Structure 1
Amino acid sequence: MRAMVYRGPYKIRVEEKDIPAIEHPNDAIVRVTLAAICGSDLHMYHGAMPDTRIGMTFGHEFIGVVEQVGSSVQNLQVGDRVMVPFNICCGSCWYCTRGLYSNCNNTNANHYAVGGIYGYSHTAGGYDGAQSEYVRVPFADVGPTLIPDWMSDEDAVLLTDAAPTGYFGAQLGDIVEGDVVIVFGAGPVGLLAARSAWLMGAGRVIVIDHLDYRLEKAREFAQAETFNFTEYRDIVLEMKKQTDFFGADVAIEAVGAEADGAFFQHVTASKLKLQGGGSPVALNWAIDSVRKGGTISVVGGFGPLFSNVKMGDLMNKGLTLHSNQTPVKRQWPRLFEHVRNGYLKPRELVTHRFPLEHITEGYHVFSSKLDGCIKPLVVPSAA
């Protein structure tokens, strides 16, 4: 099959790889019909995520058709159209039985904090991802679900990560009616978090970024107020002014490891530098922008180490911080309702489609924020 292959920071290409095989009776092989490039993929592409190994295939957002099932699989049949959450989860461990699928205890042999994730470095188990023509899906009776007849493919593929993560970001904020919510980052996750904040009762939603075209999308898609932080000497001071020097009730950090370049890449105190896990700039802005007793939600992706987070301010202000990788399956029932009823339309964030053979161009366009790119999809030739 043809697959995207990582060859080092900023170096990817499409190569021939063996079609994955059934390795366990609970496996399925899925022919990928539509995948996506995620902002988290860019962390690996830029060399900012630890233990990203040469030869790995990225891609954790995908839908496809079941081509083969292991002898123990009962819920799927060959020919089924499925959407697959980015979490690889066993369904039976202490965490999975409590709906914490992203913390599955049996899918990451490296015993790092997170459970298994498709195509997301060996810190997440080292599984090959779906920016390819075929992908192996472990625990096939647990993760995948049939794509409803009424759901578009573009909504379905965004419901495997971006939409649940944005929704989860708002959920972790413990928003109550009338809250002022600030979202740092106007990528797909931030935009979906801002839109979801309204569904949870927010009285005011503010989105902060440095790219005017993404801020325009925030106004259009999320009906949010927007601020370009490059236009202010101190964006935290401006947020204080905007809230009568009280601060927001909730801040959602939807930026992650690299703080998107213009949020300034912080070099960690460890010798790992960029491999340590990322920049705390947006997180510190969040800490400074909320009121005392406020809540911070972190859904941006970080590596295992980073320094200079304002823990003293967080503690002294009495802030609550919630964070995790999104347990996608736990979000699906309510999200399916919102999408079917038209309250959320994730497909509206899709701006580009790239054939798998042109995925190098897709990463370049997405990484460099060219051509108004917000969410790029990847179409394998096998589709």
Structure 2
Amino acid sequence: MAANGSLMQALVYHGPGRKAWETVPKPIVEHDTDAVVKVDTVTICGTDLHILKGDVAAVTDGRILGHEAVGTVETVGSGVKNVKVGDRVLVSCITACGACRYCREGSYGQCIGGGGWILGHKIDGTQAEYVRVPFADTSTYAVPEGVTDEEVLMLADIGPTGYEVGVLNGRVRPGDVVAVVGAGPVGLSAIMGAKLFSPAHVVAIDLADARLEAAKQFGADITVNPSREDAVAIVRDLTQGLGADVAIEAVGVAPTFEQCAALVRPGGTVANVGVHGGPATLHLEELWIKNVTITTGLVDTYSTPTLLRLLATHHIDLARFVTHRFAMGEFIDAYDTFARAADTGALKVVLTS
């Protein structure tokens, strides 16, 4: 159903395991720094699946889900200076006020001025025909000429997440052995980002053979299915018994975090990217003496301009992330396909208006 007057269609969360594509009020400009964007292309994130499991308590009944979109600006507030009606923009998963302590440091994910991860979390999100974007000047990015909506959409979340929280936090350097545990979209993004630093080996570890095949396409030169192979032994064989220089956790469950801790070498780094809904055991009795660094983080999206330049100059290929396409009104089918990725082979599903 197309938006009609003050109404639109959106994907609405109604508590753990419950969602619906339904009619809701169309957003309006509420603050002078807002923009209302017509959503042209949108996707579903693994974090949305965590929300539907009930892992994110801040998401309440009635919330429109989603935090990634490419669209066309329909309306702007009087305080918006750099974004104008008709602009084609990337709506970032992170909203930045641009003025608080954290935003001034480039830590937009920790914004205390009303931003951070709020879309589809604390305010209504992007899985809708229209979305209100607060702080439009600092929370949207102009889409470069010559690239598709689908390609740019991959930089709303997974691109900068894998790159910043995995590769940059993990301090990947030339010649490193990098183990990526979880070859879903964020893990694949981390593999792609790691390749920019000329590692000696990138090892992808996943229980799904289809995702390991995808990992090869994104640059992994070694793949391991831990249901059949000993990942720790394979990584140690590559590293004279030491372990990975960087182990990137890209799933968000306790066993994969603990596996990363077992994979990393003395003096190495475990970079946790996955969204965890429960505790994991930290074996400090083994790690303290090994000088292991553990990093965690929500994406800040400070790398988005860099990644947009790399995309525009064809140094990264983001189109290969998209495996399934749907019309905007087919959200329920799209969620089903994405949630059953092991069966469907889905990496990223894209919905287009």
Q: Normalised by the shorter chain, which TM-score bucket?
A: over 0.9
2:4 matched residue in structure 1: none
Quote how far apart the aligned CAs of 1:159 are. 0.8
Aligned length: 344
The SS at the match of 1:128 is coil
Q: Which residue number in structure 1 is paired with residue 101 of structure 2? A: 94
Correspondence 1:158 to 2:165: no
* 1:292 aligns with one of 250, 253, 266: 266
1:337 alignment partner AA: R
1:66-85 equivalence runs, <5 A: 66-85=73-92
1:345 counterpart = 2:324? no
| Residue type of the alignment partner of 2:251 | V
The corresponding residue for 1:280 is 254
Match of 1:317 in 2: 290
Equivalent runs, 1:139-218 vs 2, <5 Å: 139-168=135-164, 169-218=166-215
In 1, distance between residues paired with 2:34 and 2:244? 46
Letter of the structure 1 residue corresponding to residue 270 of structure 2? I
What aligned pairs does 1:235-314 form with structure 2 within 5 A after superposition? 235-256=231-252, 279-303=253-277, 306-314=279-287
Q: Equivalents in 1 of 2:77, 2:257: separation in Å?
A: 43
> Which segments of structure 1 move beyond 4 Å, counting only runs of 4 or more?
none
CA displacement 1:220-270 (0-9 Å, x = unmatched):
2224311111113x43344334433211111111112xxxxxxxxxxxxxx
Q: In 2, are the aligned partners of 1:4 and 1:356 still within 8 Å (CA)? A: no
Shift of 1:312: 3.4
Amino acid at match of 1:102: G
Q: What is the alpha-carbon distance in structure 2 between the residues aligned to residue 172 and residue 245 of structure 1?
A: 24
Cross-structure match for 2:41 = 34
- Is contact 1:116–1:127 with CA below 8 Å preserved after alignment? no
Deviates more, 1:288-297 or 1:220-229: 220-229
**Corresponding residue number in structure 2 for 1:355:** 327
Q: Secondary structure at the match of 2:22?
A: strand
Whole-Å Cα distance in 2 between the matches of residues 81 and 91 of structure 1?
21
> Are the aligned partners of 2:144 and 2:312 in contact in 1 as well (CA < 8 Å)?
no
Give the deviation of 1:342 after TM superposition: 2.1
Picking from 108, 124, 142, the partner of 1:128 is 124
Instruction: Say whether the 8 Å CA contact 1:57–1:132 is kept in structure 2.
Output: yes
User: Structure 2 regions of 5+ residues with no counterpart?
Assistant: 1-7
Q: Which amino acid aligns with 2:304?
A: W
For 1:285, the aligned partner's letter is Q
| Whole-Å separation in 1 of the counterparts to 2:160 and 2:221 | 19
- RMSD of aligned Cα (Å): 1.6
The separation in 1 between residues aligned to 2:202 and 2:220, in whole angstroms, is 8
- Counterpart code for 1:131: Q
Are residues 223 and 146 of structure 1, via their aligned partners in 2, closer, same or farther at CA, if it must alter by over 3 Å?
Answer: same
CA contact (8 A) 1:14 1:356 kept: no
Partner of 1:364: 336
Which deviates more, 369-378 or 24-33?
369-378
Instruction: Give the Cα–Cα distance (whole angstroms) in 1 for the partners of residues 221 and 315 of structure 2.
Output: 15
Q: Which moved more, 1:176-185 or 1:368-377?
A: 368-377
Check the 8 A contact 1:251/1:290 in 2, yes or no. Answer: yes
What SS is found at the alignment partner of 1:249? strand
Distance 1:80 1:145 in 2: 10
Structure 1 Cα separation of the partners of residues 200 and 95 of structure 2: 36
C-alpha deviation, 1:67, in angstroms:
0.8
Deviation at 1:307?
Answer: 4.1
Q: Of 294, 306, 310, which residue of structure 2 is paired with 1:334?
A: 306
Helix, strand or coil at the partner of 1:230: coil
**How far off is 1:102 after superposition?**
0.9
1:231 corresponds to = 228
Q: Note if 1:59 corresponds to 2:33.
A: no
Residue 186 of structure 2 aligns to a residue whose secondary structure is helix
Change beyond 3 A, Cα 1:311–1:134? farther
Sequence identity (%): 39
Aligned pair 1:117/2:118, yes or no?
Answer: yes
Q: What does 1:5-20 align with in structure 2 at a 5 Å threshold?
A: 5-20=12-27
- Partner SS for 1:17: strand
Deviation track 1:181-207 (CA, whole Å, cap 9, x = no partner) reads: 000110111111112112112111000
Task: Quote the Cα distance in structure 1 between the aligned partners of 2:134 and 2:218.
Answer: 35
Do the aligned partners of 1:22 and 1:29 also contact (CA within 8 Å) in 2? yes
